[in-house]
Structure 1
Amino acid sequence: MMLSTQQKPPKPRNLLFLLSDEHDPRYMGCSGATWMRTPNLDALAAQGTRFTNAYTPSPICVPARASLATGHWPHTNGYWDNAIAYEGRWTSWHHRLADAGVRVESIGKLHYRRQEDPTGFMAQHEPVHILDGVGLVWGSVRDPLPKTRGRSPIFDELGAGESSYNRYDTRVTHLACDWLQQRGQESESASAAPWALFVGLVAPHMPLVVPQEWLDLYPTDKLPPHKSLPAGTPRHPWVERLKEHWDHDAMLDGDGQRQLARACYFGLVSFMDAQIGRILAALDAQGLRETTTIIYTSDHGDNLGARGLWNKSTLYRESTSIPMIVSGPGVPESRVCTTNVNLVDIYPTALDACGVPPLPEEHDLPGCSLLALATQADDPRRIGFSEYHAVGSETAAYMLTREGFKLHHYVGHPSELFHLEEDAEELHDLASDPAYSQVLHEMEAQLRLMLDPAAVDARAKRDQNNLVARFGGREKALSKGNPGPTPMHEKYRMV
């Protein structure tokens, strides 16, 4: 594909940022899952550039979203887990846009600490933050990690129906459409301010409950084969410890329920796609598409039963890979870019999209504008990175990928190494294969150029131990925080 070397058109003034929760990017029609019903995301990809190697900075909600806001890795900003949430202490791209005169607001889920914190938004509409500004304090108890968290509640709700999350997403979509209608009316004025809107949807996050019309799209007897390890292959010891701590799969009654859970997830992806379709239709109805950069992504993926694992929290692609689609003025259409990208790239992208020049210190951020990357040739040497210091991890875990190889480094445990070009599903660990010893050595060295794995692990545990102490010690902390997904406001619950 030839990329234009002509002068780029004037930068668009507006930014529409669409964030889902827990969406594995393989489950879209445009990414090759032709059996998935995602017409709106597919159309958005056709109108812009889709990045096939996009990663979360951390495969759990709160750290991922803090890095998205600040443009820094978790080991830099110190937002380690779901009880240490963004509160405005670090400059966000929302701060920077607001300071530059851009109208920047949010609608929907943010998962920061609390609404009153100075996170940079001029207004937050129907936000969801960590529960009571506290979150999962019990998940900060990692030093040492309790043997088990006990029974998992994530499948207490499963099947056809309408959850509080579904109702919330419908409301968020309605508010976003109204917000865009107002901006369209204001755009007729010569003094109309540029804007940036952050829309946070919850789907396809658990609970795996979805209205029947969406579940009917995915009959359980017609789903693609369920992914499993080759016969006799043990789980990595770090991963086995994670599963032992909180065994979600044990709560499912056989393969029938496993297939139902997968079907519900796929239904939620299609439900979410429909909400995005409504929002994009509202943008088009107001004639705002030509002046707006649109970004669709998610905070992390979901294991969805692979390796007997559910939820996120691992370094495998199910958990760390995210969708990343960018569309708008100057963005190549129908392009598929294989360069590694990350949520930390959103900060410079937001500035670029709204025409806000970076400050000198922002040139040192790890991210790069996706608008620039979309117009450049694929770069196999750019690093993909993720790290995990949260629920169920006895030690820190780090993922690094470049030039077709992917390293999983676990503090205190052997590493894993995968050759993605030959083993896209990460089923064959090459770390102990002498033929790949040099590759393993080079990737471990690259990781250590970024950070000291053991020192960062110790720093995260120190901060978490301090948090646990503030809540009265280990035993009290283990009982503090919601046991499952963040509960919705009572107005979204069934009476």
Structure 2
Amino acid sequence: MLSRSSLFCLATAVFQVIVFPSSDAIGKPPKPIRNVILIVSDDLKASVLGCYGDQVCRTPHLDHLASRGTVFERAYCQGTWCAPSRTSFMHSRYRDSENITLGEQLRQHQASSIRVGKIFHMRVPGDIIAGTDGPDIAACWTRRYNAPGPEAHTPGEYACLNLNIVTDDLFGRQSTRMPHRMFVSVKTTTDGTEQADYKATTKAIEILQEDHRAPFFLAVGLVRPHYPMVAPNDYFHPYGIERIEMPGNWHDDTSDIPKIGLAGTHNDRNPIGDYPDNQKRMWSAYYASVSFMDHQVGRLLTALEQSRYATDTAVIFTSDHGYHLGEHGLWQKSNLHEEVVRVPLIASVPGVPAGRSDSLVELVDLYPTVCDLMNVPVPDAAQGTSLLPVIEDQDHELRPDALSLHKGASLRTPRWHYIRYQDGSEELYQMDADPSELTNLADDESMTKVLADLRERLDERLENDAHLIDRNTQR
């Protein structure tokens, strides 16, 4: 009788034979990839997904995508909030837009480029409620569709957790441009079909049912788990606060972080610090909205698998940046610590075996990757590098470090995370021994050589392109 492990290996082999047809060239798709679907979540930290190791959050559909694609363990954004990050990856530039957009490049080479939902920046909740474009770039798209939704004004149990307000009343809720909107959750009494992400997914499914004569790039922007964290009540049930364990450094871990390195919202400057249980409820609401978003991804993946495009369409899933949920006592984004700069990135290419990669990659790499998959040339102005060599061989190392930018610069290597701010202050963490970034080693005398090497490496990265040089970051 076969052991459980043998049965698992046999089942895995059968699954791979079914999902990944044989090819003359190992690691190469059996037929050319014609189309790409890019799914972009909003404010999603990599660490909360099941396929990235979270034991609480339920993300079965993204876990399924990960089981048949390449999971990038070390993917990093270049901008640390929505607008600069999305500008960056849609132009493949670190922090300017001196390249035509990805969609324009594809359109110039006879492909269609279709947007559903938020890809370039939109104000959430403002542009979502209004159904407006935000600072979108019309030339990027052959067609574009917005997906409006009621956001915090959805009927149900509303909570403003930093003010400790819980009510079913629709009047007086924190919403667009209001100061406490970041701590809002809604357990809706609806089925979720009125939400922006459901509508965006429904539209994307309709597009997959069309007869596309030209290759297509379909960019689907989902706004959850961006605040307000809105989801049907059933999505909150698995995440009672008794299941939530706050990060080990949640209470007070800012004494060795330079002032410029603190997030705009932290426990000693916001009432959320007065409500430990509500901090757990923030996690619960984040998990619920992640699970709701994951369900929409599942709807879209099912539609793709049932469509005529299943065997020649690659799927890429990512987020614009990560998020603080109380780590170091910090909240939200616009920060250079690991929880913000590290993002989920999964790429599934039909015919290419699944795997996981430790290669350091950046969101600027999305543009050349899509171009490579669709057999479109990459403009010289693009600063990213195609991920296709890593997708085809997960042991391939794309680059030695990853760069992120905000009030200075962050350099992530396999072992170290070095941050240098505009005022010259620094942070240094040994990530293999201190993955939670508890101890800043920048003032440790034993780190002198390490710091010197990392400073030089960062200078080289910044000086590779004149547009990257921020004179205030130089020592």
Tell me whether 1:341 sits opposite 2:369 in the alignment.
Answer: no
AA aligned opposite 1:370: L
Which residue of 2 is the match for residue 385 of structure 1? 403
Which residue of 2 is the match for residue 160 of structure 1? 187
AA aligned opposite 2:458: L
* Cα distance in structure 2, aligned partners of 1:73 and 1:257: 36
**Deviation at residue 217 of structure 1 after TM alignment:** 1.5
**Deviation at residue 357 of structure 1 after TM alignment:** 2.6
* Cα distance in structure 1, aligned partners of 2:431 and 2:448: 16
- Distance verdict in 2 for CA 1:117–1:299, change over 3 Å: closer
CA contact (8 A) 1:152 1:248 kept: no
CA contact (8 A) 1:155 1:252 kept: no
- Distance verdict in 2 for CA 1:7–1:279, change over 3 Å: closer
* Cα distance in structure 2, aligned partners of 1:151 and 1:430: 38
**Deviation at residue 8 of structure 1 after TM alignment:** 2.5
* Cα distance in structure 1, aligned partners of 2:143 and 2:241: 42
CA contact (8 A) 2:77 2:343 kept: yes
- Distance verdict in 2 for CA 1:234–1:116, change over 3 Å: closer
Which has a greater percent of strand? 2
2:204 to 163, 176, 191: 176
Structure 1, 402-411 or 48-57: larger mean CA deviation: 402-411
CA contact (8 A) 1:289 1:328 kept: no
**Deviation at residue 159 of structure 1 after TM alignment:** 4.3
AA aligned opposite 2:409: Y
* Cα distance in structure 1, aligned partners of 2:208 and 2:468: 46
AA aligned opposite 1:384: A
What SS is found at the alignment partner of 2:209? helix
* Cα distance in structure 2, aligned partners of 1:176 and 1:231: 44
AA aligned opposite 1:293: A
1:105 to 102, 105, 114: 114
**Deviation at residue 208 of structure 1 after TM alignment:** 2.5
Tell me whether 1:234 sits opposite 2:245 in the alignment.
Answer: no
**Deviation at residue 455 of structure 1 after TM alignment:** 8.7
**Deviation at residue 403 of structure 1 after TM alignment:** 3.2
Tell me whether 1:96 sits opposite 2:105 in the alignment.
Answer: yes
**Deviation at residue 369 of structure 1 after TM alignment:** 1.4
Which residue of 1 is the match for residue 163 of structure 2? none
What SS is found at the alignment partner of 1:339? strand
- Distance verdict in 2 for CA 1:162–1:61, change over 3 Å: farther
* Cα distance in structure 2, aligned partners of 1:232 and 1:23: 22
Which residue of 2 is the match for residue 292 of structure 1? 313
Q: TM-score, normalised by structure 1?
A: 0.75
Which residue of 1 is the match for residue 39 of structure 2? 18
CA contact (8 A) 1:420 1:426 kept: yes
**Deviation at residue 379 of structure 1 after TM alignment:** 2.2
Cα deviation code 1:219-269 (max 9, x no counterpart) = 111113333168676151334664479977424651111111110001111
Which residue of 1 is the match for residue 461 of structure 2? 450
AA aligned opposite 1:93: L
Which residue of 2 is the match for residue 393 of structure 1? none
AA aligned opposite 1:264: A
* Cα distance in structure 1, aligned partners of 2:253 and 2:387: 42
Which residue of 2 is the match for residue 218 of structure 1? 239
Which residue of 1 is the match for residue 336 of structure 2? 315
* Cα distance in structure 2, aligned partners of 1:315 and 1:162: 37
* Cα distance in structure 1, aligned partners of 2:247 and 2:398: 30
What SS is found at the alignment partner of 1:58? coil
What SS is found at the alignment partner of 2:48? coil
Structure 1, 307-316 or 243-252: larger mean CA deviation: 243-252
2:412 to 401, 405, 409: 401
AA aligned opposite 2:101: S
CA contact (8 A) 2:50 2:60 kept: yes
- Distance verdict in 2 for CA 1:203–1:166, change over 3 Å: farther
**Deviation at residue 118 of structure 1 after TM alignment:** 3.8
Cα deviation code 1:296-327 (max 9, x no counterpart) = 00001110111121110111111111100000
* Cα distance in structure 2, aligned partners of 1:369 and 1:152: 40
- Distance verdict in 2 for CA 1:328–1:162, change over 3 Å: farther
Which residue of 2 is the match for residue 414 of structure 1? 425
What SS is found at the alignment partner of 1:275? helix
- Distance verdict in 2 for CA 1:274–1:244, change over 3 Å: closer
Q: How does 1:23-38 map to 2 (within 5 A)?
A: 23-38=44-59
Q: How many residues align?
A: 407
CA contact (8 A) 1:56 1:322 kept: yes
CA contact (8 A) 1:56 1:343 kept: yes
Tell me the percent identity: 29
Which residue of 2 is the match for residue 40 of structure 1? 61
Structure 1, 240-249 or 345-354: larger mean CA deviation: 240-249
* Cα distance in structure 1, aligned partners of 2:244 and 2:471: 43
Which residue of 2 is the match for residue 491 of structure 1? none
**Deviation at residue 72 of structure 1 after TM alignment:** 0.5
Tell me whether 1:374 sits opposite 2:395 in the alignment.
Answer: no
Which residue of 2 is the match for residue 146 of structure 1? none
What SS is found at the alignment partner of 1:201? strand
Which residue of 2 is the match for residue 485 of structure 1? none
Please, which runs of 5 or more residues in structure 2 have no aligned partner? 1-23, 122-132, 149-176
Q: How does 1:184-195 map to 2 (within 5 A)?
A: 186=211, 192-195=213-216
Which residue of 2 is the match for residue 281 of structure 1? 302
CA contact (8 A) 2:250 2:326 kept: no
What SS is found at the alignment partner of 1:91? coil
* Cα distance in structure 2, aligned partners of 1:401 and 1:180: 38
CA contact (8 A) 2:72 2:346 kept: yes
AA aligned opposite 2:446: A
AA aligned opposite 1:178: E
**Deviation at residue 289 of structure 1 after TM alignment:** 1.9
Report 1 or 2 for greater relative contact order, CA contacts < 8 Å, sequence distance ≥ 6. Answer: 1
Cα deviation code 1:345-364 (max 9, x no counterpart) = 011011011111334x25xx
CA contact (8 A) 1:180 1:283 kept: yes
1:327 to 332, 348, 362: 348
**Deviation at residue 454 of structure 1 after TM alignment:** 12
What SS is found at the alignment partner of 2:332? coil
* Cα distance in structure 1, aligned partners of 2:102 and 2:197: 24
**Deviation at residue 181 of structure 1 after TM alignment:** 1.2
* Cα distance in structure 2, aligned partners of 1:116 and 1:222: 40
Aligned Cα RMSD in Å?
3.0
Which residue of 1 is the match for residue 370 of structure 2? 350
* Cα distance in structure 2, aligned partners of 1:402 and 1:32: 21
CA contact (8 A) 1:417 1:430 kept: yes
Please, which runs of 5 or more residues in structure 1 have no aligned partner? 78-88, 129-149, 389-395, 461-495
What SS is found at the alignment partner of 2:239? coil
